[in-house]
A and B are shown apart, each in its own frame.
Chain A
Amino acid sequence: MASTVVSTAPQFDDAAQQRDASNLGIWIFLATEVLFFGVLFAAYTITRTQHPAAFAAGSRLTDLTLATINTALLLTSSLTMALGVHAAQSGARRATVGWLSLTVALGILFLAIKGLEYHADYVENLVPALNFSYAGAQASQVELFFYLYFVITGIHALHVFIGVVVISVVAYMASKNTFGPEYFTPVDLTGLYWHLVDIIWIFVYPLLYLVSRS
């Protein structure tokens, strides 16, 4: 069971108000993240509408195997995160630390595989502004596909990295027996963030990797 007593910050009337405010606050933050990434989806949509063949060609050059594995890993990390939140709310210290650590491990694995992907792209001369070289038609527009590919997956990976760091900190807090039924807000909020990072990837995957596989 949790050993710390949760204190209500002075601006709030009671713990319930504090919890409701935190919840609404994180959801508004998540809305801003949706809009933030949404710009990239909009840029992708417009550019692909204008250059459908180039986007198809570019997508075929991406590594479908690694991306599919990564998608499965991220979906699984969402499961372990949800189980971690559940454990924290139950006050099960060891289970909380275990599930959160597993989530961190899956996140790091995702980033490692992403690194492998980027390395392969580099070796195959698919990095815009660095060494991009494409022999087929509409090379310029295919380069635009890869520009968006790196920007979207790069910014997403940054969010995964931030998530990994925050979840690690929360796992540490959990190991100190901080959480229980009265107080598990940090785990809860972190979980919501992590699920959103997952949702973004759910859309990124088909748009970047499945455009023209048949």
Chain B
Amino acid sequence: MKQFSLAPIRTYFVSWCILLALLLLTLGSAFISLGWFNTAINLTISVTQAAIVLLFSMHLRSAHPTLRIAATIGFFGIAILIALSLSDVLTR
């Protein structure tokens, strides 16, 4: 596995600006009444923010596939836990 080469500092500042912008977006959208869609927007923005942190700050963009699998497998596990448990709760 190769060690990553020094990423330009600009990458981090740009990600930071995007993350803050997304924060304002998720906050702002909460003041518009959209029913369940509000939560959907919030979570989509959260996933996007998380992806930016993972790819850029945590260097997954240039990481070995094994590391990428390790990085994402936890989220899949939780998705299974929530999805199948919800399948029970929603159909009782």
A35 engages B77 (CB within 8 Å): yes
**Interface size counted on chain A using CB atoms at 8 A:** 50
Chain B residues whose CB sits within 8 angstroms of the CB of A72 once the complex forms:
20, 23
Interface residues of A in 1-54 (CB under 8 A from B): 16, 19-20, 23-24, 27-28, 30-35, 38-39, 41-42, 45-46, 49-50
Chain B residues whose CB sits within 8 angstroms of the CB of A198 once the complex forms:
53
Chain B: CB-nearest residue to A25: B70
A–B pairs, 5, beta carbons within 8 Å? A23-B67, A31-B71, A79-B15, A82-B12, A195-B57
How many contacts between A and B, using CB within 8 angstroms? Answer: 128
B89 engages A210 (CB within 8 Å): no
B74 engages A83 (CB within 8 Å): no
Interface residues of B in 17-48 (CB under 8 A from A): 19-20, 23, 26-27, 30-34, 38-39, 42-43, 45-46
Cα of A76 to Cα of B13 in the assembled complex, Å: 10
Chain A: CB-nearest residue to B48: A202
B74 engages A30 (CB within 8 Å): yes
Cα of A27 to Cα of B19 in the assembled complex, Å: 22
**Interface size counted on chain B using CB atoms at 8 A:** 46
Chain B residues whose CB sits within 8 angstroms of the CB of A31 once the complex forms:
70-71, 73-74
Selected contact of B70 from candidates A24, A35, A71, CB within 8 Å: A24
Chain A: CB-nearest residue to B71: A27
Chain B: CB-nearest residue to A23: B67
State the main secondary structure of chain B at its contact with A: helix
Cα of A38 to Cα of B53 in the assembled complex, Å: 18
A49 engages B86 (CB within 8 Å): yes
B12 engages A42 (CB within 8 Å): no
B50 engages A203 (CB within 8 Å): yes
Chain A residues whose CB sits within 8 angstroms of the CB of B43 once the complex forms:
203, 206
Selected contact of A27 from candidates B23, B50, B67, CB within 8 Å: B67
A214 engages B57 (CB within 8 Å): no
Cα of A24 to Cα of B69 in the assembled complex, Å: 10
Answer whether residue A68 sits at the interface, using C-beta atoms and an 8 A cutoff. Answer: yes
A83 engages B9 (CB within 8 Å): yes
